[in-house]
A = this chain, B = another copy of it.
Amino acid sequence: MPFELILQNISKHINLTKEEQTFFVSLLHVKQVKRKHFILKEGEISKDSIFVTQGCLRGYTIDRDGSEHVLSFAPANWWIGDMYSLFTQQPGTMNIEALVDTDVLTLSRTDQEKLYKEVPTFERFFRIIIEKSLVSSQQRIIDNFSLTAEERYHKFCKRYPELIETVPQKQIASFIGITPEFLSKLRGRTHSGK
């Protein structure tokens, strides 16, 4: 049942009738993204909101020196997208890659507008989802100002417990904004302190 998880995710915030659920599900596309393959590349115009049902995606940008900067991880039950490109329909700067074989559901921008028209309560759902993303994004800016690397690491562990053991260390380091060597030191310290 590839739609069970997304319907649960939605039912946390809005109530849908059976007909509305059926209509919503009819707009979704099931896709598989093999490990190390991309669902979106820098320079492309993002057309879809993406919901992960299994596996894990990561979104990152590449700076002019060729270094990668991780913006977000999306394990199962998370939404991900290049917000700039999706909302402005301009070419984006984000790459979204599968860290492991990953199953996703996509909802195209056009179908999302159709959904808002037919089932306006989805405006509420996405308003709430986007509020949560905005809080995370602003909090990340604040954390970079005000928390030490160690505190940011502990916050990451709390936020993404399922990723700590599965995601390569250098990508966690990139998300937190530290070198992999420093992350390794932090992990040693945390471990020995237990």
Binding site for B on A (CB under 8 A): 61, 63-64, 69, 71, 83-84, 87-88, 93, 116, 120-121, 123-124, 126-127, 130-135, 137-142, 144-146
Contacts and interface: CB of A to CB of B under 8 A. Distances in A.
Contacts of A134: 83, 130, 133-134, 137
Contacts of A130: 127, 130-131, 134
Contacts of A127: 123-124, 126-127, 130
A112 to B, nearest CB: 11
Given A130-B130, A146-B64, A71 B138 contact: yes
Given A84-B138, A87-B135, 10 more contacts: A69-B145, A83-B131, A83-B138, A84-B135, A93-B142, A116-B124, A120-B123, A127-B127, A134-B137, A144-B144
